[in-house]
Structure 1
Amino acid sequence: MLEERVDQIMEAVNTLVQLQSGKSSTRLPAPSTPTPSSTANQLDEDRGLREGVSVFDPALSPDPPPEVLQSLVKLYVDQIADQPLPLFHIQSLSRSVRTFPKPLLRSFLALTVRYSDDQFFRCGRSNAVEFYKASASKALYAQAAEPTSDAEVLQAFCLLCLSEIADGNMKRAWMAVGVATRLAVCAGLMSSKVKGVIVSAEHSRCYWSLFILDRIHGSSFWGVPAIPAGNAAPEMPLSVKRPEYLELTSPNDLEEPQAAEEKDAGINSYALQLLSIWGRLMSYLKTISQGDLEDAWTANSTYQQIKAEMSRFETVLPEVHRFKNARFRERNISELERHRHYWASWVFTQCIYHTTHCTLNHPFLHIARIRGQRRLRSPSFLQHASDQAALHAAWVVLILSSCEERDFKIYDPFVGHLASMIATAEFLLQFSKDNALAAKSASNFNMLRRFIERMAASHPHLQHTTVKLTRLGQFATAHVERASDQPPKVEIALLWNLLDYAASSSPSVDSGESSDNVELNVNTQFLSPVNPDVPTASFASEGLRGSGQEGLDTSFWDGSTFEFDMTDFSNIHGLSDLSIPSETWIGGHL
């Protein structure tokens, strides 16, 4: 009687194992057969089975059960989709993921599992990520041998590229984008005939996702962009809807009489426009890193062309998305999270806009003195460049500080890279003869480094960035300890690496350059107060308010360096009768 009861119990347990593993041939041994576990992982798996919880096993249960897969979909939507454009149709992703082909599913899992704490992966999350990535790579590159126009293949390559970036595999990421781009060409997504042709929403999202990846990671100083500038492209996909409390503005009395009501293409569209300019900026930096210098103040210089593109962008961005009207700093966390898809893209847009301006005017490019590079430089241009670098660096600090104050978490690691680029500018500005500017820049450098360190906890590839920033900061520490009056010398390669996302977030890259140092030539007028005898006001010492029409704290502009920017137009001869809008942009905000 007892033996029959034991047999019934064992049969029930075996049935449970079959249901959990999905393998009909898997059966537990009889009680008389010992099964000692030889490793801690095996003990965890046995415990999981006894508790009725399945675990990842590349042989028995490689793919997660439906409920775990749905949790990964939610993770993707919340943390990955807005970088800054969703690769999938978000509303239907929970349904479509169930029918993903294996390469696409494995690419999706390789990207999302690394951020998951689900119990299914508790015995080896890193092993699961490597298994999924290897499985997806093998299948995808085999498929690439036979060109296909399937959107699923392009989607899988995009996800695979993101996985390689997350692992700091610079060259593999380039390979994934490059192959996917060639497949997109085969699909006709980059043909001149694509204009005016209806392209499926899936293919449109694929192309623009490839465009984003190519601009943020493929536009490296050590690589070649896969998608050329000015390339034919399909229509941009629909943008995320803005919150209902943000309304378009109508023309006011100060605008042209024939002006029409603003047209809004959506925040994602403007983020993509800035990414296009970003690619041009990275190409500009690449030419400088290769020693091809120009007189930036000349009318036809690349500097002036990029600056003109930024000015054109400022004229097309609707008022509704601008800092003053969005009132980000007045929103509580519940408002921000309820419309996260909009606000995440808005933060991205603000950060890349100001970082583009700051990098274009970076002290390293225009003020620093590099051995063997002698050229005439315009003092008035250098004054303008340093002012712009300090101004836009302060705005990125303000945006990121506002996010932290509201506990609005930034998941996009590229924003972390933008913060590191701003940190390099702040590092140089801390050696200014303007003591207030120097102190504020040193504080901002440390704030940005801490921000990136926190992001690196979720994005390990940014740990390489923090190592490089820490090394950069050591130059300042040594300088302070020596109590030297002369600015320190910094390795050129280190600064270039920090300005390049692919190099910054990867292990140290050998650029092939010598280890020459750059001399921070900041003992000149343009990084000092215009009138050294006039006491310098605190450089935003009371913090940056930045709300409403005030933009930055008014004390930011009290220094004599900025007197011209704050000129009272009514006192200028010939302009006293002009109508000057009260919202005249003098704070540098977008």
Structure 2
Amino acid sequence: MESASSERPAKRVRQACEPCRRKKAKCPGEQPICSLCARLNQTCAYAGEHRRSWANGLPVSAEPVSTPSSSENRISQILEERLGNLENRMGEVLDALGQNTSRREQQATAPPPPPPPPPIVLSNAATSATSNPMTPFPTWEKVLSIAELYLIYCHSQPLPLFHRESFLDSLGARDPEIIYAMLALSIRFSSNDCSDPNGPTVLINSYTEVARSLVMRRVSEGPVELSTLQSLCLLSLVDFANGNTHRSSIHCSLAVNLAQCANLGLESHLAQTPATREERRRCFWSICLLKRLHGVDFDNMDFPDFCFPPFPESPSRPPPTSPLTDAGNEARSVGMQDQGIIAYVIMLSEIFAKAARYVRRHGRPSNVPPWSSQSEYSKILTALMERETQMPYHHRFKPANLSQRTLEDLQTRREYWGPWLLNQFLYHTILCLLNHPLLLSLSLRNFRSTIPEIFLQHTSDLISSHTTWIIHFINYFEERSFVVSDPFLGYSAAVVATIELQLSFTQNAAICEEKRNRFYKCVGFVQTLGQKWPHMARLADRLQRLEDAVSASYELESGAQNQYLLIDLSRFWEILEYSSNSDTDSARRMFGDSLYREAPTLGAEVSQTSPLPEPFRLSQQVTSQSPNSQFNIQTPLATGAQYPLGPMGSPRPDVWNDEFSILAANFFSQAQDFLRTGDPSEGFGNF
């Protein structure tokens, strides 16, 4: 208290200076100039005394104050109050400028950031982000050019998030988080920004962080708008592409929860423009589609009242290559309501999510055999066939006449061919997953002596046909030089690659060469997508490491001393599970030490699985079947036996778990004629 009182004037201030009086500010009362006026560098004068001006640091005498009349005094008082307010505001500005002088001096060497585009009113957070030298906001012309790339390579590939016709015109009026998230997703397709290998990565990460900060501020402080959910969908795609699968899942789940709380599934009764109403619907179904494509069996019943908005509007079908052929195709679709190609992608994604859940079970055996109508296998297959009956014929493969479509035809109508191709790949991938030889071998180990012959032939035909269809599309893309931008198509090729790799280990040189060529074809396709999508590049690397590991095991397995060699199945699961939450790198980036714990290492656990028997065909002789393909094959393991150490890890004889490792002898002895070669020209399995 003593130190505080010592700083005050010795006597009580009886009169304030004129500037402080006009501003109604507390005047310190020092004379000849008060400290407040000195700090603001303004003239300080007291009524009834000589006014002093301290301009240039020297006192200048002033004229004595005369007593004005009452009317003049009133006018003068009003003017003085207004002038006082102005001086007060200018003082605040000068204070702020004085505090920021050092900051400006530090930033003087950095180039000034380009101003934001005039049509966008940026928030404080966005404005501060654009001032970051690492996040230069491009010119508005550049933003529009990247937005056009978004419509070409990202719209409906896979998410139909925006109203295409009004997207460019409305871009300037959209919230800044949409702009930044769109830039982060689409700039990878800009040839100018991709000339420097490190340039796109820096820009993508910078734009992503700005968009994320804006979105999280919306979520924490409000108000949450439709643009918030749209941005979360884009950020989920970007994070997934960058390998941050956990954060991608969190963004997607947050969008789901916000959509539920906002009743986005219900049609709004407020007066809205057709484009606004359409984008609400697109946002709802994009959230559902994103959740399902990432392998989550998302149930629409989570939304109230079982009322869902109509499906988004779909682009019209491209003109037919032959009017006569199109008339016949339309005749086959009479009586069916065409809901549009995007609607059928959304419908099919629900079945893919169930197939992804089937994969995550890792072939755990059940008391119900897969050929039973009550099995998960049969239920998914039945749902897939039911869905196929609901799609008009003119959206299927044959009426599309792809062989007669040029690159220009495909490129100019990507808004249709993008979702059409996704629909095709979803269909064939579901069937490849359901009939994957590894999953079947694991799930059927409790039914070795009772497997129906017709089931073996059924699965043999399905896996042969639908892997061939994926290879057929990859060859078609190469022939047409068509740029595929949807990363899900790369996942489909990776699934086929794991099948072809398993079937390539045979003594038959012709079959081995054919399967290896198909494997490399799929890996090359995934690598091409990896040039734009980092998670596709990692997927291609995983496929190559899988080939190296399995090939090394195959060379060692022939020796008698290596009859109990193990193959680590975790290498398969990290490929077959499109959205794997077991990604250690992603988890370490997301969680701290107090929360995250690595899963126990289970790669050494042994599978008791024996190879599937081969289906009998007329071209075979029963006597030519190998002993390992008979129905009564026994597992070459005995509890308590000691097994030698293999390159993939040593077995633990006390724990038998089939999800993580499989005996190399069982893995390689799949009869090659169990899977015959299919021909896409036959039209079998044509969706």
The aligned residue for residue 187 of structure 2 is: 113
- In the superposition, relative to structure 1, how do residues 291 and 225 fare at CA in structure 2: closer, same or farther (>3 Å)? farther
Q: Please give the TM-score of this superposition, normalised by the length of structure 2.
A: 0.63
- In the superposition, relative to structure 1, how do residues 61 and 423 fare at CA in structure 2: closer, same or farther (>3 Å)? closer
Q: 8 Å contact 1:493–1:513 — kept in the other structure?
A: no
1:525 matches 2:602: no
List aligned pairs for 1:68-79, cutoff 5 A.
68-79=142-153
Q: 8 Å contact 2:147–2:182 — kept in the other structure?
A: no
The aligned residue for residue 326 of structure 1 is: 400
1:92 matches 2:166: yes
The aligned residue for residue 378 of structure 1 is: 451
Distance in structure 2 (CA, Å) of the matches to 1:498 and 1:560: 25
The aligned residue for residue 530 of structure 2 is: 456
Tell me the SS of whatever aligns to 2:567: strand
Name which of 134, 139, 142 aligns with 2:214.
Answer: 139
Tell me the SS of whatever aligns to 1:425: helix
Tell me the SS of whatever aligns to 2:684: coil
Distance in structure 2 (CA, Å) of the matches to 1:406 and 1:504: 36
The aligned residue for residue 211 of structure 1 is: 288
Tell me the SS of whatever aligns to 1:490: strand
Q: 8 Å contact 2:431–2:466 — kept in the other structure?
A: yes
Letter in 2 for 1:189: L
Q: 8 Å contact 1:178–1:226 — kept in the other structure?
A: no
Distance in structure 1 (CA, Å) of the matches to 2:474 and 2:348: 19
- In the superposition, relative to structure 1, how do residues 229 and 367 fare at CA in structure 2: closer, same or farther (>3 Å)? farther
The aligned residue for residue 202 of structure 1 is: 279
Deviation at 1:489, TM superposition (A): 4.7
Q: 8 Å contact 2:182–2:234 — kept in the other structure?
A: yes
Tell me the SS of whatever aligns to 2:379: helix
How big is each residue's C-alpha offset from its partner over 1:25-83, in whole Å with a ceiling of 9 and x where there is no partner?
9xxxxxxxxx999xxxx8xx79x9xxxxxxx8724973211111011111111111131
Tell me the SS of whatever aligns to 1:526: coil
The aligned residue for residue 555 of structure 1 is: none
1:514 matches 2:602: yes
Q: 8 Å contact 2:364–2:442 — kept in the other structure?
A: no
Tell me the SS of whatever aligns to 1:83: coil
The aligned residue for residue 499 of structure 2 is: 425
Distance in structure 1 (CA, Å) of the matches to 2:613 and 2:470: 26
- In the superposition, relative to structure 1, how do residues 121 and 157 fare at CA in structure 2: closer, same or farther (>3 Å)? farther
Deviation at 1:124, TM superposition (A): 4.3
Q: 8 Å contact 1:181–1:226 — kept in the other structure?
A: no
- In the superposition, relative to structure 1, how do residues 408 and 445 fare at CA in structure 2: closer, same or farther (>3 Å)? same
Name which of 323, 332, 349 aligns with 2:423.
Answer: 349
Letter in 2 for 1:152: S
Name which of 310, 321, 329 aligns with 1:235.
Answer: 310
Letter in 2 for 1:589: N
Unaligned 5+ runs, structure 1:
1-24, 26-34, 49-55, 537-558, 567-583
List aligned pairs for 1:263-342, cutoff 5 A.
263-288=337-362, 294-342=368-416
List aligned pairs for 1:397-476, cutoff 5 A.
397-431=471-505, 437-476=511-550
Tell me the SS of whatever aligns to 2:361: helix
Distance in structure 2 (CA, Å) of the matches to 1:218 and 1:252: 34
List aligned pairs for 1:43-192, cutoff 5 A.
58-59=132-133, 62-118=136-192, 124-145=199-220, 150-190=225-265
Distance in structure 2 (CA, Å) of the matches to 1:514 and 1:60: 43
The aligned residue for residue 494 of structure 1 is: 571
How big is each residue's C-alpha offset from its partner over 1:135-169, in whole Å with a ceiling of 9 and x where there is no partner?
22122123223575621111111111111111110
- In the superposition, relative to structure 1, how do residues 72 and 164 fare at CA in structure 2: closer, same or farther (>3 Å)? same
The aligned residue for residue 51 of structure 1 is: none
Q: 8 Å contact 1:58–1:131 — kept in the other structure?
A: no
Distance in structure 2 (CA, Å) of the matches to 1:286 and 1:162: 21
How big is each residue's C-alpha offset from its partner over 1:425-466, in whole Å with a ceiling of 9 and x where there is no partner?
222222468765554322211110111111111111112211
Distance in structure 2 (CA, Å) of the matches to 1:229 and 1:513: 35
Distance in structure 1 (CA, Å) of the matches to 2:427 and 2:463: 12
Deviation at 1:310, TM superposition (A): 1.2
Distance in structure 2 (CA, Å) of the matches to 1:200 and 1:226: 23
Distance in structure 2 (CA, Å) of the matches to 1:184 and 1:345: 24
Distance in structure 2 (CA, Å) of the matches to 1:368 and 1:461: 28
Number of residues of Structure 1 aligned to a counterpart in Structure 2: 494
- In the superposition, relative to structure 1, how do residues 182 and 290 fare at CA in structure 2: closer, same or farther (>3 Å)? farther
The aligned residue for residue 388 of structure 1 is: 462
Q: Please give the TM-score of this superposition, normalised by the length of structure 1.
A: 0.73
Distance in structure 1 (CA, Å) of the matches to 2:513 and 2:337: 43
How big is each residue's C-alpha offset from its partner over 1:355-391, in whole Å with a ceiling of 9 and x where there is no partner?
1111111111112589xx6444514223321321121
Tell me the SS of whatever aligns to 2:132: coil
- In the superposition, relative to structure 1, how do residues 535 and 88 fare at CA in structure 2: closer, same or farther (>3 Å)? farther
Tell me the SS of whatever aligns to 1:502: coil
Distance in structure 2 (CA, Å) of the matches to 1:513 and 1:240: 49
Deviation at 1:397, TM superposition (A): 0.6
How big is each residue's C-alpha offset from its partner over 1:58-110, in whole Å with a ceiling of 9 and x where there is no partner?
24973211111011111111111131342111222222111221222222222
Quick check: 512-521 or 275-284, which moved more?
512-521
Letter in 2 for 1:451: F
How big is each residue's C-alpha offset from its partner over 1:478-516, in whole Å with a ceiling of 9 and x where there is no partner?
256458399985322111111111239956686646113
Distance in structure 1 (CA, Å) of the matches to 2:204 and 2:373: 51
Deviation at 1:321, TM superposition (A): 2.0
The aligned residue for residue 685 of structure 2 is: 588
Distance in structure 2 (CA, Å) of the matches to 1:469 and 1:118: 31
Tell me the SS of whatever aligns to 2:579: helix
Q: 8 Å contact 1:430–1:441 — kept in the other structure?
A: yes
Distance in structure 1 (CA, Å) of the matches to 2:618 and 2:557: 22
- In the superposition, relative to structure 1, how do residues 533 and 300 fare at CA in structure 2: closer, same or farther (>3 Å)? closer
Q: CA RMSD in A?
A: 4.2
Q: 8 Å contact 2:295–2:356 — kept in the other structure?
A: no
Deviation at 1:393, TM superposition (A): 0.6
Letter in 1 for 2:686: H
Q: 8 Å contact 1:351–1:415 — kept in the other structure?
A: yes
- In the superposition, relative to structure 1, how do residues 129 and 465 fare at CA in structure 2: closer, same or farther (>3 Å)? same
Quick check: 427-436 or 438-447, which moved more?
427-436
Quick check: 465-474 or 360-369, which moved more?
360-369
Q: What percentage of aligned pairs have identical amino acids?
A: 26
The aligned residue for residue 653 of structure 2 is: none
Distance in structure 2 (CA, Å) of the matches to 1:71 and 1:293: 57
Quick check: 229-238 or 128-137, which moved more?
229-238
Letter in 2 for 1:503: S
Distance in structure 1 (CA, Å) of the matches to 2:192 and 2:329: 54
Distance in structure 2 (CA, Å) of the matches to 1:289 and 1:192: 41
Q: 8 Å contact 2:363–2:443 — kept in the other structure?
A: no
Tell me the SS of whatever aligns to 1:346: helix
How big is each residue's C-alpha offset from its partner over 1:209-258, in whole Å with a ceiling of 9 and x where there is no partner?
11121011152xxxx75866896532111011110226795679998xxx
1:358 matches 2:432: yes
Q: 8 Å contact 2:456–2:614 — kept in the other structure?
A: no
- In the superposition, relative to structure 1, how do residues 504 and 250 fare at CA in structure 2: closer, same or farther (>3 Å)? farther
Tell me the SS of whatever aligns to 1:311: helix
Distance in structure 2 (CA, Å) of the matches to 1:504 and 1:474: 24
- In the superposition, relative to structure 1, how do residues 252 and 332 fare at CA in structure 2: closer, same or farther (>3 Å)? closer
Distance in structure 2 (CA, Å) of the matches to 1:278 and 1:487: 36
Letter in 2 for 1:525: E
Greater Rg by CA: 2
Quick check: 519-528 or 75-84, which moved more?
519-528
Deviation at 1:352, TM superposition (A): 1.2
